[in-house]
Amino acid sequence: MASDYGEHLDPASLQLLAETTGFASIDNANQACSSRLHDIKVALSSPEAAGLLDLHNRQNPARHRLLQLAVAVHQTAEDICQAGWIATDESVIDLNLVSFSGQSQHQQFVVGLLASYLNSPAPVEFMNSTCTPPACTAARLYSLIDLCLTASDTERAGALRLLGDEALFTASMFPSIAHKSPVDSAMLETLQSVLPRAVVKLMSELEPELLNLLDVYLMFGPVWYRMAAQNLLFGNSRESLNNIATDFITARRFIVQVSQGPLMNIKHDLYPKIV
């Protein structure tokens, strides 16, 4: 997600956010996007913004779904951080989750990830494909692996990033689908083509832990992000990808809370093609 939020919050969404929360006058909402970024983040996490998650409200049509994702992520981050602040000595607090939730770059990354899957769009690399496998399926995994194998050296990093995104999104938003997808010997063999040699040497030891697609994504998702980050083309986002690779499990816990919290009632409206 762009650091100025301009990539996702179009003028109409900014205007709706301004009307709902009052972070800026309606006429100055677009200008505030670049000059008052902190105010926008506060607005996204405000109680007033929570009303934007209601898809049945006439003011919240489908064209504002990107805004709704931003609201959901920031509302979740605010709740987690607030819980950390007011915790008593007897409370059990996940400090890693609190730390992750409070970092702007992680909030932006998660919004961008969730936005990239709206209506299960195909990655741009698939646009010439006659049949695009739906997200969160074994068929999509095979397609992404094929993409890695046929990509040029410069394109391979982007394909690996897509593998990491598929792993994190599926494991967080639709884990039950992945859990119901068994792993067979053919998949294990195919996976070796997109894994480092050091990991491939350990496959015989790892196989008993790889019973379904969810196991695969939890184990190798961080690896694919790390491999993508090593490419020079990702210089601007290398730190972000490395951080997500390091904090993959924490990132997943955060997105699970987004999925089971603010997005619980609208998730299937946002992603109707993923069943």
User: How many domains does the chain fold into?
Assistant: 2
214-241 per-position pLDDT tens digit: 999 999 999 999 999 987 666 677 888 9
Determine, yes or no, domain membership for 43. Answer: yes
Name the residue range of residue 146's domain. Answer: 124-257
Q: Do 132 and 77 fall within a single domain?
A: no
Residue 80 and residue 43 in one domain: yes
Residue 274 covered by a domain = no
Q: Are residues 130 and 219 in the same domain?
A: yes
Question: Are residue 41 and residue 160 in the same domain, yes or no?
Answer: no
Rg, the chain, Cα only = 19
The verdict on residue 50 lying in a domain is yes
- pLDDT, tens digit, 9 for 90 and up, residues 152-207: 888 888 999 999 999 999 999 999 999 999 999 999 999 999 999 999 999 999 99
Residues 98, 128, single domain; the answer is: no
- Give pLDDT tens digits for 110-160: 999 999 998 644 555 555 555 678 889 999 999 999 999 999 888 888 999
Domain assignment present for 176 = yes
Residue 133 sits in the same domain as residue 221: yes
95 with 128, same domain: the answer is: no
